[in-house]
Amino acid sequence: MKRRVAILISGRGSNMAAIARACLDGSINAGVNVVISDRPGVPGLTTARDLGIETRIVPWQSARGRQAFERALGEALEALRPDVIALAGFMRILSAPFVERYAGRMLNIHPSLLPKYRGLHTHRCALAAADLEHGASVHFVTAELDAGPVVLQSRVAVLPQDTEADLSARVQATEHIIYPKVIGWLASGRLGWREGGVWLDGRPLETPMREDFRANVAT
Ligand code: GAR
């Protein structure tokens, strides 16, 4: 039976679309059952609907606080019984009890070579540090922000003339390759997080897998 994937977004949704397309074209044996946004009217919602995916808006209302938001988000997720929850440009920080409920089932993509540059403005940080390489990381979500075990990273070159936008575009192109791949592994049972460690194909994953895109400098 196809595994059920729920994707949480806050904006453009290009990673969501990459995951949904990989499900639709059969490259991964899973289906995206719902796309949930904390913001109404974002482009990712239109893209999801165009792909024939059900969408929900669970609005973030600062006056009501995180508990109320997480209650509503939890209800939406319970109703849809996802096997995998993918955070894809979802810009809300989730509480420890909420995250723990989905331990081992919730993944995130972060635009840096973690543990470098947690949080925001990762491309700016890589340029400011004159890094020669940069990338993205797919990791299991834990209570600590951007700190869960990393499964797969993409490595891209940083070029001398790069602007933040150039670097962001180059990294994003690789996100669209590595994120669907990891979701496919989790959905098919090849990947798991148990007994305190990440396992891939029956073996402990001691260090993150890495895919090298440094030769691809077109974007
Ligand atoms: C992606 O580049 C993702 O890595 C980043 O937001 C972008 C969302 O783009 N996520 C974070 O910064 C989370 N800390 P998308 O909406 O087009 O997928």
pLDDT in tens, 159-210: 999 999 999 999 999 999 999 999 999 999 999 998 779 999 999 999 999 9
pLDDT above 60: residue 219 = no
Instruction: Give the CATH class of 110-219.
Output: alpha beta
Tell me how far apart the alpha carbons of residues 174 and 179 are, in angstroms, rounded to a whole number.
Answer: 9
Range list for CATH 3.40.50.170 in the chain: 1-102, 110-219
According to the CATH classification, is domain 1-102 in 3.40.50.170? yes
> How much of the chain exceeds pLDDT 70, in percent?
99
Strand pairing class (191-194; 150-157): unpaired
61 near 69, Cβ under 8 Å?
Answer: yes
Please identify which of the residues 110, 123, 134, 139 carries the catalytic annotation. 110
Each residue's pLDDT tens digit, 83-100: 999 999 999 999 999 999
pLDDT above 70: residue 104 = yes
**Atom 14 (ligand 1) nearest CA:** 110
Mean pLDDT for the chain? 96
| pTM exceeds 0.85 | yes
Q: Which atom of ligand 1 is nearest to the CA of 17?
A: 18
Q: Which atom of ligand 1 is nearest to the CA of 14?
A: 17
Q: Is 110 annotated in the active site?
A: yes
Tell me how far apart the alpha carbons of residues 183 and 38 are, in angstroms, rounded to a whole number.
Answer: 22
What pLDDT sits at residue 218?
61
What pLDDT sits at residue 83?
97
CA angle 23–217–123, rounded 5-degree value:
80
